[in-house]
Amino acid sequence: MSLSPRRHATELETISVTVPPEAVEAYESALATVCATIGIFELDDSQTLWRVEGVKDTGNGEDELRAALILAALTSGVDAELERSHTEAEGWLARTYESFPEQLAGKRFAIRGTHLEDAPSPQRITITLDAGVAFGSGEHGSTRGCLRALEMVAYRRPQRILDLGCGSGILAMAAAALLHKPVLATDIDPWSVRVTKRNAAMNGLANLVDCHLGNGWATPAIRHHAPYDLVFANILARPLCSMAADLALNLLPGGTAILAGLLNTQVRMVLAAHRRHRLVLERHLREGDWGTLILRKPHG
């Protein structure tokens, strides 16, 4: 589905928070509970402050938003003030298009909005997203790091693939398109599950990307298909640490885990949690302040 410049049936408002980089993903998830589009904007060249903003129907989902913001503050340790402003539908659409140019990631991938009219590069695997629901649009350092990591491990030809916390489904779709293998995608957020299913269908990958609502490793679909030889977990540093034992248990010997959603300053903490369960670091990739870890489960 692509957006068209039409008048919205109800009043729109933009809600936003200004946060340090370590709180971006928590507040991105919070705003995504009620917003049809999420944007992340760097406020200065030092990458010390970012604005996370979304557009919603005025007055819609206030209870859900309030609860999500409380959760974001607790998980990130940053209590951000919510700002609101009236938004004209046509102006919002134009700004959304402008802020979502084609994103090139790694050597193989291009993330493009449905509003772009020029032909995609035939040398890259193109993943198309609706600019109106493009939270997780490929511009975030953690997503870009995961796509680079996928390119590095693709030669292992994994057969059982899991995207844990799939967001908009970029990683699941990228793995399915590159490896031509089925991918199980899960997320705790119903909106993410709906968007991933929509995006997979839009990209002709509905037969390869199987998306389910669930809470981490307790998700029945994850337990049914385990163990895996490739797992993406692009979430947050502390949840990654708490799930290290389950990850190790559900990886096949020789299997690979690609972990992201953590700052480079949090790498040591996340790595220590996984080393306790005998997972071995292969690579630490950097995208600005954000780190991506490629871990391997030894044979034997």
The rounded distance, in Å, linking the Cα atoms of 190 and 174 is 21
234 assigned to a ligand binding site: yes
State mean pLDDT over 108-119: 76
pLDDT digits (tens, 9 = 90+) for 170-198: 999 999 999 999 999 999 877 778 889 98
Give the domain-ending residue among 87, 113, 144: 87
Average pLDDT, the chain: 85
**How much is the pLDDT for 147?**
95
Tell how far CA 143 is from the center of its chain: 6
Residue 135: helix, strand or coil by DSSP?
coil
**What three-state secondary structure class fits 48?**
coil
Whether residue 293 is predicted with pLDDT greater than 50 in this model: the reply is yes
| Domain's final residue, options 87, 117, 133 | 87
Residue type, 274: H
User: Could you tell me which residue, 161 or 112, shows the higher pLDDT?
Assistant: 161
pTM of this prediction?
A: 0.72
The reply to whether 156 falls in a domain is: yes
Q: Among the three residues 43, 60, 87, which one is the final residue of a domain in this structure?
A: 87
Q: Consult the annotation and say whether 187 binds a ligand.
A: yes
Same domain, 158 and 285: yes
Same domain, 160 and 289: yes
Same domain, 62 and 167: no
273 and 159 in one domain? yes
265 marked as binding residue: no
Whether 159 and 66 map to the same domain: the answer is: no
Q: Is 63 among the domain residues?
A: yes
As beta bridge partners, residue 56 has 13
CATH of the domain at 279: 3.40.50.150
- Cα–Cα distance measured from residue 68 to residue 141, given in angstroms and rounded to the nearest whole number: 23
* Residue 159 sits in the same domain as residue 289: yes
Tell whether the model's pLDDT for residue 120 goes beyond 50: yes
More confident residue, 221 or 36: 221
- Number of domains within the chain: 2
What does the pLDDT read at residue 115?
Answer: 64
Q: Is the pLDDT of residue 121 over 80?
A: no
Q: Do 40 and 163 share a domain, yes or no?
A: no
Give the residue-averaged pLDDT of 110-120.
73
- Residue ranges with strand state E in the chain: 12-19, 37-42, 50-57, 83-87, 103-105, 109-113, 125-129, 161-164, 183-187, 209-213, 228-234, 251-263, 280-287, 290-296
CA–CA gap between residue 49 and residue 192 (Å, rounded): 25
pLDDT at 283: 96
Do the domain assignments include residue 276? Answer: yes
CATH code for the domain of 51: 3.30.70.260
Q: Which of 249, 243, 213, 209 lies closest to 228 in space, CA to CA? A: 249
Asked whether residue 265 falls in the same domain as residue 181, the answer is yes
| Residue tagged 């993903």 (tokens) | 25
Specify whether 288 is located in the same domain as 158. yes
Which positions ≥6 away from 76 have C-beta within 8 Å?
A: 19, 22, 23, 26, 27, 236
To which H or E segment does residue 91 belong?
helix 89-98
Structure-block tokens of residue 88 = 């004209």
Range of the domain at 25: 12-87
Half-sphere exposure for 46 (CA within 13 Å, toward CB): 3
Could you read off the pLDDT of 187-246 as tens digits, one per residue? 987 777 888 998 999 999 999 999 999 989 999 999 999 999 999 999 888 899 999 999
Residue 183 within a domain: yes
How big, in percent rounded to 5, are the helix, strand and coil portions of the chain? 40, 30, 35
Ligand-binding annotation for 165, yes or no, is: yes
Query: Exposed, middle or buried: residue 113 (CB in 10 Å: 0-12, 13-18, 19+)?
Result: buried
